Structures are given as C-alpha cells and as structure tokens.
C-alpha cells in the first residue's frame, strides 16, 4: 500500500458568485521515501493541492470530494485534533516564506523545544539535545549559539536551513515543500535543495516538492505531476517526462526553459496565460493556448474545444490529451526538414 494516496480530490472555493473549482479529480500516490514533484505555472493549483493534503486550505476553500489516505487513515474526515497530530508530526511542511513557520518573538531554541514538547513527553534538556542534533544535520555553523538567536538575526539561507531542521524535528514520514527556495539567492537555492535531498534520502523521508522549476524537479524527484488549471495533465517518472514530454503543455514548459533556446534567441514562451479558475475554457482547458487544438487546415478540433480529455497511458506515464495517440503515430519530422 502506498504511504499517501490521493483519489479524485476536488477542492472548491465558495465565493458569492458561486463555487470556483480549484482542483478537479486530482489523483496521485506516494510511496515511503519517494520524491514526487508537482509542477506548473502559478495558478495551476500546486499549492492548493499541497495545502489540502493537510486540510490546511483557508476558508472559503473546502474539500468537496475525493479521498486522501495516509498510512491507511482517511485524512479528509479526520477531526482537527487527530489531524494536528499527523500535521507536523508525521507530515511536515516547508513553506516558501520561512516566516510562515518561524515565530519572530521566540528564539530558534524556544521554538524547536516547544514543538518537540508539544508532541512528545520529554524534558527540556532532552528537547534541547534533539534540537542541537537537528541543527547539526542541516549544517548550521555553531548550532549552540543559533539556539539563542531570533529569526531576524539570521540570513535567509540560514533561516531556510532551520526550517528544514524543524521539518525534520519529529522524524516525519513526509515533507511537503512548497517552493522552498524561491525566496533565496540562486546560489543558496542550489545548496538548500541539495541539503533537502540528502536528508530525505538519508532518513527515508518521502518528499512532495512543489515548484515551477523543472530543473529542480529533474534533479530531486523520481516522479512528477504536471498541473494545469486545477487538473493533473501529465504524470509519470520524472526522467521520462523530462526527456520526452507528451502533453503539449509540458512540451511548452520544456521549450520555455532558457537552456532549450538558441543563444541570443527569444525564449519560446507558451502563448497566452493560465485561465482564471472561474472562467475555464470549455473542453480541454489548455485549448486556447495549444498549437495542436487546430487542424492543419485551420479549423479547431471539436474534441479539444468540447470534451475534457481523460487519461491515456503512454509508456510509464499518463497524459490527459485527446491527441497523444495521434501525435505519437505521426511521423516525427526533424525540425529543419519541415516544409
């Protein structure tokens, strides 16, 4: 059995004008120690997916359907009290902004010790010893001294290391990390990501990594989901998707990477932008931006504009696109030889 299993998850936001569907039919699973990336542009629903795993979606958001099972327990119907035990303890979260986790008026040591004592029956001395060990694991120089520091006395990179130490404090089974390095300098981003990867591997912690950065996903994760307008549109082993993306949106994301462009040429950005969730296009939500939604003679494909695509298997991946089979059968013409 998978450690975490998400089935047909529907999340909505109850607004005055009616419900907005923020996630539709999201399914995925995560094994012990596995690292999964959730990728997409902003507005795709990545963070909503992450927050809903712990029932942390802020009102007026709510889980309208589907199930989330963690280690055999259903999380969507769990009481707040039971859920609090899972949260932080067995599943912990790293946010983009370290200040979402750190309390500015408490020292690092106070926060770590308090967190440990809230979940375990231990003395302050034991809690302090564990905190020190965790700070050593995240390679904080002079950890003793850091325990007495307030968050604002530390650099951004140092703060994010401490967040990782706190995430590991209670030896969780899963860490959910939402854009954990976006707020940091590029050089520090790589260090922090490497550290997170190393620690997850070493302690067999499963990781759900939410990011818009395909480079990071390919370095860190074994499997990935690509999301668009609240749905999963491609899922499979990271290497397979990165090497040969099947969904036109994933292909677009790959082509937009700076390293895919000819030096000096303009980046191949996907035209248009993510639709707003309360004004989703009919059929495939990607169709207004998709080059394959139109036939060679210029008429739109009815399937693309009228029918929400279901999943099609492709190798070890699943892809939600009407055209996948056709694109695969079409002879691939090398770019230079195109008429």
Residues in contact with ligand SF4 by CB under 6 A are 248, 284, 286-287, 290, 292-293, 304, 309, 321-323
Q: How far is the CB of 333 from ligand SF4 (least distance, A)?
A: 18
Smallest distance, Å, CB 168 to ligand SF4?
39
Per partner kind, with CB cut-offs from 5 to 8 A, the member of ligand SF4, Mg ion, none near residue 286 is ligand SF4
In whole angstroms, the minimum distance from the beta carbon of 226 to ligand SF4 comes to 11
Under rule CB under 5 A, residue 181 binds Mg ion: no
**299: phi > 0 → left, psi -120 to 50 → alpha, else beta; which?**
beta
Measured distance CA(116)–CA(327) in Å, rounded: 54
Give least dist CB 29 to ligand SF4, A. Answer: 24
- If contact means CB under 5 to 8 A according to the sort of partner, which of ligand SF4, Mg ion, none does residue 54 touch? none
Residue 127, contacted partner among Mg ion, ligand SF4, none, CB below 5-8 A by kind: none
**Six-digit token string for 43:** 């507005």
Q: Which is nearer to Mg ion, 173 or 179 (CB)?
A: 179
Phi, psi of 280 (to 5 degrees): -70, 140
Q: Does 211 bind Mg ion (CB under 5 A)?
A: no
- Pick what 290 binds: ligand SF4, Mg ion, none; C-beta below 5 to 8 Å, kind-dependent: ligand SF4
Closer residue to ligand SF4, CB minimum distance, 66 or 248? 248
When CB distances are held under 5 to 8 angstroms depending on the partner's kind, the choice from ligand SF4, Mg ion, none that residue 47 binds is: Mg ion
How remote is the C-alpha of 225 from its chain's centroid?
8
User: Nearest approach, Cβ of 45 to ligand SF4 (angstroms)?
Assistant: 17
Nearer to ligand SF4 (CB atom), residue 157 or residue 245: 245
Confirm or reject binding of residue 47 to Mg ion (CB under 5 A). Answer: yes
Instruction: Please give the backbone phi and psi of residue 286, each rounded to the nearest 5 degrees, phi first.
Output: -90, -5
Contact 321, 233 (CB under 8 A): yes
Contact positions toward Mg ion, by CB under 5 A? 47
């Amino acid at each position: 059995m998978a450690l975490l299993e998400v089935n047909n998850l529907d999340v909505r936001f109850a607004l005055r004008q009616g419900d907005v569907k923020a996630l539709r039919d999201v399914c995925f699973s995560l094994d012990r120690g596995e690292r999964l990336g959730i990728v997409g542009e902003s507005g795709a629903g990545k963070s909503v997916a992450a927050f809903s795993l712990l029932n942390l979606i802020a009102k007026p958001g709510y889980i309208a359907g589907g199930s989330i099972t963690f280690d055999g327990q259903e999380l969507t119907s769990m009481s707040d009290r039971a859920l609090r035990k899972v949260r932080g303890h067995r599943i912990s979260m790293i946010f983009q902004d370290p200040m979402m986790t750190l309390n500015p008026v408490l020292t690092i040591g106070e926060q770590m010790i308090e967190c440990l004592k809230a979940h375990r029956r231990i003395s302050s001395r034991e809690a302090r010893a564990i905190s020190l060990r965790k700070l050593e694991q995240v390679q904080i120089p002079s950890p003793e001294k850091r325990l007495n520091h307030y968050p604002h006395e530390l650099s951004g990179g140092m703060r994010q290391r401490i967040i990782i130490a706190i995430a590991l404090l209670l030896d969780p089974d899963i860490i959910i990390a939402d854009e954990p390095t976006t707020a940091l300098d590029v050089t520090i981003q790589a260090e922090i990501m490497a550290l997170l990867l190393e620690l997850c591997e070493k302690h067999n912690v499963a990781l759900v990594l939410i990011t818009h950065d395909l480079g990071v996903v390919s370095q860190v994760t074994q499997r990935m989901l690509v999301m668009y307008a609240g749905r999963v549109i491609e899922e499979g082993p990271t290497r397979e998707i990165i090497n040969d993306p099947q969904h036109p949106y994933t292909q677009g994301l790959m082509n937009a990477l700076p390293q895919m462009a000819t030096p000096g040429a303009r980046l191949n950005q996907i035209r248009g932008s993510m639709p707003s969730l309360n004004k989703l296009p009919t059929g495939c939500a990607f169709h207004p931006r998709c080059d394959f939604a139109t036939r060679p003679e210029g008429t739109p494909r009815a399937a693309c504009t009228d029918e929400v695509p279901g999943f099609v298997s492709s190798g070890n991946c699943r892809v939600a696109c009407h055209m996948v089979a056709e694109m695969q059968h079409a002879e691939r013409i090398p770019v230079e030889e195109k008429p």
